[in-house]
Amino acid sequence: MAKITLSVIKADVGGIVGHSDVHPDLMKSASNYLAEHGKNLLIDYYVTHVGDDLELIMTHNQGVDSSEIHKLAWDAFMEATEVARQLKLYGAGQDLLEDSFSGNIKGLGPGVAEMEFEERPSEPVVIFMADKTEPGAWNLPLYKIFADPFNTAGLVIDPKMHQGFDFEVHDLIENKKVVFHCPEEIYDMLVFIGAPGRYCIKSVYSRTLNEIAATSSTQRLNLMAGRYVGKDDPVCIVRCQSGMPAVGEVLEPFSKPHLVSGWMRGSHHGPLMPCSEKASTPTRFDGPPRVVALGFQLCNGKLVGPQDYFADVAYDRARQKANEIADYMRSLGPFEPHRLSLDELEYTTMPQVMEKLAQRLVPIE
């Protein structure tokens, strides 16, 4: 059976109003573009948004890193950018760092999470998409889903999960990667992934099934651009059930909002609030950071769904908790740890302020 590739490619190509939402015309434009130009390339697609990020969910047989699929996504974003420009939307074309496509969309601005696998007799997947945060936001939930038996009962109970999972962790600063075999290496791994601004879980593999279980986008917009552009607003794909974590185990970490970086000007920590696609409109202080989870059943590559999981009342308390945490964090104003630490502000104001004060900075006697 031909392998299926699931590609989630996203970009912020303009917001309404400010950085809070995607105009329906942009979604229509991207949808029409994929329908027309993806006719012979895609099996299926679903266009959505989280906050000001336009999300293209696509299935095909071209494998990961296919230049044809990446070009299709790039051109759909360019087309949507045109619409954003006509409407004078805010930040039109913001995440498209280059004028033209050059083989692979990675490195050009958009975020990419892709995996190729043989579709199982039943293939449930959950796609997480976040706004106002960075790829490291997935570290804590992915750890809980695939390595914490207090979150995932299957690690104890399911013989197909008991052997654990391998985690591929990327160092986004040094451009290196390492694979941790868990559970035996969880303490070593936590030293790294506890620093989500630098080390990110790229992919997770089932050791029993020898199959990819999860993958995330690890593009860091500001590191690519060398200046502040916007936040990465990452995506993550998780396969569920039958030797993978159950859907409920995959969603469970989001019932306790954890602190992530990326709120207001990409420069503040705040709670990651689970919400429905409709409620994914960051407002308060341009936030708090949001995460949406859409579930699909794959059927010969067709995307059956979605199920908008965080629309469920079971996440009301998480939202309430996130609002309480947001109150507290906001009360700190421009002080750390609400504001990010200086080294993380490197691409924003700090160098300019430093330059201005350079003459007045004198040694302490």
By Cβ distance, which residue is nearest to ligand F6R?
286
The single residue of 33, 231, 233, 308 carrying the catalytic annotation is 231
8-state DSSP, 246: -
Annotation marks residue 233 as catalytic: no
Q: Is 105 in the site for ligand F6R (CB under 6 A)?
A: no
Decide: is 49 part of the binding site for ligand F6R (CB under 6 A): no
CA atoms within 13 A on the CB side of 182: 27
First CA to last CA across the chain, in angstroms?
Answer: 74
Among residues 90, 106, 171, 228, the one annotated as catalytic is 228
Q: Which positions from 207 through 236 interact with Mg ion, judged by CB under 5 A?
A: 230, 233
Residue 186 CB-half CA count within 13 A: 14
Neighbouring C-beta atoms of residue 238, cutoff 10 Å = 28
Cα gap 298→301, rounded to integer Å: 5
Site mask, ligand F6R, residues 217-256, x = CB under 6 A?
-------------xx-------------------------
Q: Which entry of 12, 21, 148, 286 is annotated as an active-site residue?
A: 12
Give the amino acid at 316.
D
Q: Which is nearer to ligand F6R, 218 or 267 (CB)?
A: 267
Annotated active-site residue 309? The verdict is no
Q: Which of Mg ion, ligand F6R, none has residue 53 at its interface (CB below 5 to 8 Å by kind)?
A: Mg ion
With binding defined as CB under 6 A, does residue 286 bind ligand F6R? yes
Q: Which of 2, 3, 17, 18 binds ligand F6R (CB under 6 A)?
A: 18
List Cβ neighbours of 93 (8 Å cut-off, separation of 6 or more).
13, 14, 78, 81, 84, 85
Angle (CA) 310-252-235 rounded to 5° is 60
Enumerate residues 119-158 that contact ligand F6R by CB under 6 A. Answer: 132
Query: Between vectors from CA 349 to CA 348 and to CA 350, what angle results, nearest 5°?
Result: 105
Phi, psi for 53 (deg, rounded to 5): -105, 130
**Binding of ligand F6R at residue 10 (CB under 6 A)?**
no
- Applying CB under 6 A, which residues contact ligand F6R? 18-19, 91, 132, 230-231, 264-266, 286
- Applying CB under 5 A, which residues contact Mg ion? 12, 15, 19, 51-53, 91, 131, 230, 233
Catalytic machinery residues: 12, 228, 231
